[in-house]
Structures are given as structure tokens and as C-alpha cells.
Amino acid sequence: MTMLHVQPETSGLSPRSARPQRPARMEPLAVLPVFLPLTGRKAVLAGGGEPAAWKAELLLAAGGELHLFTDNPCEDLAALLADPALSPRIHHAFRRWQPEDLTGAALAIADAEDDEDAAAFFAAARAAGVPVNVIDRPAFCQFQFGGIVNRSPLVVGISTDGAAPVLGQTVRQKIETLLPPGLSRWAQLAARIRAAVSERLESVALRRRFWRQFSEAAFARGAPKVEEDFGALIDHLAEEVPASGEVVLVGAGPGDAAHLTLGAMRALQSADVILFDDLVSAEVLELARREAKRMLVGKRGGRESCAQEDINDMMVSLARQGRKVVRLKSGDPMVFGRAGEEIARLEAEGIPVSVVPGITAASAMAARLKVSLTHRDHAQSLRLMTAHSRHGGLPDTLDLSGRATSASTTVFYMGRRMADSLRQRLLSEGVSPDLPVVAHGSVSRPEEKIWTGRLADLTSTAMAAFGDAPVLIGIGQVFAAAKVGEEAGLPVVAAQVQARKVRA
């Protein structure tokens, strides 16, 4: 029986109306991450318990002048007070705080005994115009302390807005393992040589190029070498003719940001301009460098979009301005992505171009269905084919003979509108009408849908349930073992209801 398996939809959109959502300049933030310089500034701390001791250490580490008010400091606070390196910056009063103590403070923190004490401190701080935090009492906090990864002057702050503290701790641990301990020394070195870099390298493009090399070295080496080495690098770059920009063709994968490669992430984080296709998901774009300009160049079958030559012209123009351009394509750039035309144009213009491969939709479909596309019992070859020629119809040059098709797995890209043509052509070439077929729409996305059946059932009526979603059509014996229904997290009950609607 032919069945359409439908994943639960999100955001109240029907299958026909669902569209990839374009991201705002920035997605909503629960809190604003702000980094506050405290060196030489007054920081008030009221209370003497262990929570206050941790905040005292934090304020002192940030260079603050600590004004401590407590008549009963705990052991850890007493140790800070006795430390000769810290004691000159600690002003300790053996008494309870008073409202006038908050005057001129950069911030105020309290380890309150009860809600009454917390409310009084909160009110006094607000009256003095001082940002206030009462430890472990969110109702009396104007700001929060998050997790910290310290590679000072590189500091990473982590917050879950109080929703999941343990998750925040886990994230901090993960980041700790990713950032080399020596990164602190690289950041310190950057501060010392920044003026020299700006003086010697007048071109913005050259300065950006230098700092990219510098940053790559920070992760590739354990510790920075002597400053003279970087002086030589500055001299070398200063003597060069100002370089043009470059273009990187990047595969964004089928949609789910989890399918991005590490190379794609690095390219997105270093881009000046991102030219992205309509099928690139909002989740992927959200991972790009914030300062990068994003331009939709919308290549999508059946819709109004930029002409390929216009896209080529845009890449050339932007690169000649010295910018790093990322041409972000859904799936893999080298699989039906027209990358060959773009590479040829860029090379003809003398513009450096490189490629970061991505996970193509056929691979993502196979993973989702738990199907080996090259199972040795069913397929001696794997064929990735386009269902569209330059003129919009099924290409006449495709080898769809029964002999070739029965011994292989064939995946057609952009096949939804060609369903009838594909069925008729394959049947006319002697392909069995019982050959298993899978149609997979919006692969790896929340709105994905899967149709399974036989070649004889592959019709435009069946494909209508996908709306205008991008659809892959897989044909071959390997799809007889496709994991659908509850095994794949796709509800069979909803699928049966939808299938009846299609057949009706």
C-alpha cells in the first residue's frame, strides 16, 4: 500500500504553506551579554558567607576595588583579606552595609540573610543607580553571573538565564576543552602588536589577512613565538601588492545545522559577505559571523531567482573589493550546485576560489531512513541524477534502461514536478512497476515528509502532498528496507490519514 509518512509540523504551518524562515539580524536573546571593565572601580559586596567569598574573588580578579561590608567573614573571605597581593584593593568595614555605602559604585552584590534584607539592599542600590545582584535571589537581581571560560583578555561568558544551570556548566566544560590554555598569551600578544600592525599594514584587506593568519596560528601552536617573528610577518605582508579577496563555495548540507562540517563553520565565521541560496536554513545562517553581510540569491526551481550570471558578477565584484565571499549552497556545492560555472568564472577573473564540501541530500536521506544506498545485495552502483534539464524537462540523455536501473540505486534531485515523466520513462525502458520508491521532502528539516510506494504509484497526485518543498526521489531495491513509521519517528497514524486524502 502506498503511504505518505508525515512528521509533526511546527509553527502552525500546513505542509503546503511551510517555508524556510529567513533569520532576523539576530535571533531573540534572553539576556544581553555585557562585559564590564572593573579595573580601579568601586564594587560593593555585602555579606560574609561562602557565596560572597566567590563573588569577592571574581570582582578582585576583574581588577575591582572591593568594598566589603560584613562583621563575620567566612574562612575563604578571611584568606582573601590576608592575601598581601589583594588586601590593598579590599576596603573592609566590620559592620552592616548602609545605603550611603553604595554611592559611586560600579555594581553592588549582596549575600542576604532573608528576603527582607534582600529587598532593602535591592531598593538602596536602585535608588543609588547602581546595578544590583542579590545572590541566589533572582527577584532582586538586575544582572546575572554566568559561567566563565578564562583566557584573559579573551573571556567567554555563558548564561542560560537561570533556566538550566547544569547545561550551562556542561557548555563551559566543552568550551574549556576546545580553547587551548595558551590562547591567553596569544590574546595578550595581539594587544601588544595591534598598533604596529595598523601602522605597517594600511590596507584593511591586508590587516584582516594578517589577523586571520595570527588567529589560525593561535589554535595550531601551543604558545606564541617571540614578537620578532610576527614583526617579520608584518614586514612581509606590507611589501606585498594589496591582495584581492577570495571566494569559498561552501556546502550547507540539507538543512539541519548539525550536518555542517567543521570547515563550513570556519568559513562562515570568517566571511565578510555570504551569498546564500533559498534552501539554506535559518539555523545554518545563525552560525555565521555576526558582522557578515548576508545576501539571498535564491536559486530554487520554479521560483523567481537571481540569474546565474548575476551571481557570478556579484562574486567577482565583492572579491575585487578585498572581501572574503562565502557562496553558501544547500547540500554539496559540487552536486547539482552549478559550482563548475562559478569556479570557471572566478578562475577566469584571477580570483582565488576554494571549495568546502557539504553533506548532499541523498546521504542525509539514507541516514534518516537507515538505508545503505550501496547495499551489496541490491546495488552495484549509486547514481545521482537531476530530473531537470536546462529546458526544464526530464533530460533525454539519462540512462534509465531496465538493466541499468535494476542493478543500482538511483536518486533523482529536483524530482517532484517530474514524477509522471519519470514513471512513464522508466516503465517504457522496462523497469519493473514494483520497484520500491521513496520520495523525501525537506530532508532533515522539521517539516520533512516521506512517501513510500512502488514505481507504478509514483504520480504527480502523490507528490502534491509535498507542496513546493524540495523533494528527492529514490528508486531501487535498497528502499524496500527503508525505516519509516515509528522506527524513524514519523507517525504512522497521521500518515494513513494523509495517504487517504492523497488517494481521494
Is 111 among the residues known to form the active site? no
Angle between helices 308-320 and 339-348 (to 10 degrees): 40
Q: In 3D, which of 116, 127, 137, 115 has the Cα closest to residue 51?
A: 137
Residue 195, Cβ neighbours under 10 Å: how many? 9
Euclidean distance between CA atoms 299 and 313, whole angstroms: 15
Helices (H) and strands (E) in the chain, counts: 16, 18
Task: Write b or e for each residue in 82-107: b if 16 or more Cβ atoms lie within 10 A of its Cβ, otherwise e.
Answer: eeeebeeebebeeeebeeebbeebbb
Is 277 among the residues known to form the active site? yes
Euclidean distance between CA atoms 272 and 265, whole angstroms: 14
SS3 label, residue 341: helix
199: CB partners within 8 A, 6+ apart:
none
Residues 277, 278, 332, 457: which is the catalytic one? 277
The grid coordinates of residue 58 equal 571574581
Euclidean distance between CA atoms 76 and 168, whole angstroms: 25
Residue keyed to cell 548540507: 253
Contact 137, 118 (CB under 8 A): yes
Euclidean distance between CA atoms 368 and 370, whole angstroms: 6
Residue 229, Cβ neighbours under 10 Å: how many? 11
Q: How far is CA 276 from CA 130, 160, 252, 325, 396, in A?
A: 45, 30, 9, 10, 31
The β-bridge partners of 324 are 246
| Burial zone of 502 (CB within 10 Å; 0-12 exposed, 13-18 middle, 19+ buried) | middle
The grid coordinates of residue 6 equal 508525515
Q: Mind giving me the DSSP string for 120-157?
A: HHHHHHHHHT--EEETT-GGGBSS---EEEEETTEEEE
Residue keyed to cell 576595588: 65
Q: How far is CA 330 from CA 118, 246, 356, in A?
A: 53, 20, 12
Residues 299, 324, 329, 449: which is the catalytic one? 299
N-terminal to C-terminal alpha carbon distance within the chain = 14
Active-site residues, by number, are: 277, 299
